[in-house]
Structure formats: structure tokens, C-alpha cells
Amino acid sequence: MFSSRCILTASKHLFLSSLWRNQILNRMSSSVPVAAVCQITATPDKEANFSACKTLVEEAKDRGASMVFLPEGFDYIGSNREETLSLSESLDGQTVTRFSEIARKLELWLSLGGFHERGPNWNTDQRIYNSHLIINDKGEIVSVYRKAHLFDVELPEKGVSLKESAFTIPGPSLIAPVQTPIGKVGQGICYDLRFPELSLALQRQGAEVLTFPSAFTVATGAAHWEILLRARAVETQCYVLAAAQVGAHHHKRSSYGHALAVDPWGEVLGDCGGEQPGLALVPINLQKLRHTRRNMPVQEHRRHTDFYHSLEKT
């Protein structure tokens, strides 16, 4: 079983072990595509965030990745409501344009998970969408999912107080999985992870990879992050890729980190830890996925939706 470790940007010039080096060479010479799951520390400084993301994307390309996953808030994480709104852009703004250029130049697919997109009535109602974009290797936006479940949580004993709905519009619908070089990708964002109905709906529509770009708080991440990701993988028999924010964004907010990749059996293939930015390279073996589903045909055993609602009628 291949298990990826996180490659930290602070130590990327260190020599890899011979075993690790051989695994990379074997993987890149095979037909199994490679995904890169990234971990960053975004701040309100959009230019610095772009530079950090660009470095990771270029490194992922150099190491053989065909698709790169960036976390929620990859563009920035504001220190207050006013700053968050003022820094937002439309999909045809500078940030998305620059990432589209990177994708086209490197001939690489990108998952941009959690872009601060100005809402449809920005001039009269200054609220935003939390949007997850997939950009193909030609630099084209092929899918936009807008976060459906907003993080309105008060945990005073844990020091957590966030109300996303104060400035964010909930997305209107799920988006069908997108065919990519690593398989059919179903999109979620962060808090969506806690709602298994979303993952199961995407799996029923053909998803082979589920992705939850996130900025989990330290408290909720330590308690639930890995458990939830592995549960979603096991119940859907999908790969689950979760790029993450890590560390202190400003004096008011920090994130848990541990960008994670999980296989359809629930085994963790890559973990970026909770300290530094970096990336994990993960082979996406769809033959393994089909083998898992064939040997344990959970979806075939699932009863009709009406069965699970029958208890409500008794």
C-alpha cells in the first residue's frame, strides 16, 4: 500500500529516502494518475497567497501531478466581515484569471476550493458565494459549486464563533460530478463534509473522487476532521481529497491543517500535518475503487430512498 507523506515547502530540498524516490518513479511511469492535495496558510494579503499557491502548483506539476487541489480560502482569509467583502471578486476578476493562466501554461487541472465570489446583486446586496471552481488544462472553468451548508457555529467552550451566513449566500444546488484526469470529481466545501446526504448524492451520480477543500478550526479539526473524511470515503467507496488551511491567518483565526487524502477503503494515503504549508501526492487508482465496490457492493444493497423515510410515517 502506497502512502504519501506531505512534502513541506520549508524542506523541499531535502533528499527523499530511496524507497520514497522509487515509489514516485514507479507511480509516474504507470498509468495511474496523480493528484496533489495542498495545504497553505492564507492571510488577507492576496498577492502573498497567490505566490504561495503558485509555488505549490508548480511543484506538484514537476512531481507528476495531473490535478492540484487548493483549500477553501485559497485566495484570502479576511480578518473581519468588511475586509472579507471588500477583497472579494467576480469569476472574471484577476484572481481566477491568473489561476486559469497557470492551468493553461502548465497543462494542469485545478480545484480551487472556496473562492470569495461576489453575489449576483452585489451593487445592492453586498454578499458573496463561497465557490469551488474546477479549471481544466486549457484554463477553462468547467464547474462552479457554491457552498450549500454555511458554518454558523457557537462553541464558547472551544473558542469557536463563526457566522458564515452573515455575509455569504447559500448555494442553490449540488453540481454533477466532473470528468477529470483522475476520475469523476464530486465537489463540496468544508462544512458540507458533515452532511453525508451530499456525498451519497454525488456518488449516486457517478462520483469516484469527493473533494472537501476546507479551513477547519483547530478545535473542530482535532475532534472530527479525520473521522469525517474517512467516514465519507467508506460509505461512498470513493477517494476523498481534502486540501486544507493550516496555522494562523491573523490574530483572530487559525486552522487545523492536516490536508488529507483517503482511499475507498478508508485508509489515509496522505496527511500534511498540522504545522506548515506543503502538499501530498496521491495516486488515484480507479481499478482499486472498482475492486472495492465489486467485492463489497454497498450501493447495490442500499434500499430505495422511500425505505429510509418510512420511519417518519410510523
Active site positions, annotated: 72, 147, 190
Distance (Å) of CA 27 to CA 235, 243, 284, 297:
27, 21, 10, 28
The C-alpha angle 126, 133, 168, rounded to 5 degrees, equals 25
Tally of CB atoms within 10 A around 223: 15
Tally of CB atoms within 10 A around 12: 13
Q: Within 13 Å and on the Cβ side, how many CA atoms surround 300?
A: 6
Helix 218-236 with 196-204: angle, nearest 10 deg: 30
DSSP state of 252: T
Give me the DSSP letters along 145-197. Answer: EE--S--EEEEGGGTEEEEGGGTBPPPS-----EEETTEEEEE--GGGGG-HH
Nearest to 71 by CA among 247, 220, 230: 247
Looking only at the bridges linking them, the beta strands covering 244-250 and 34-40 are parallel
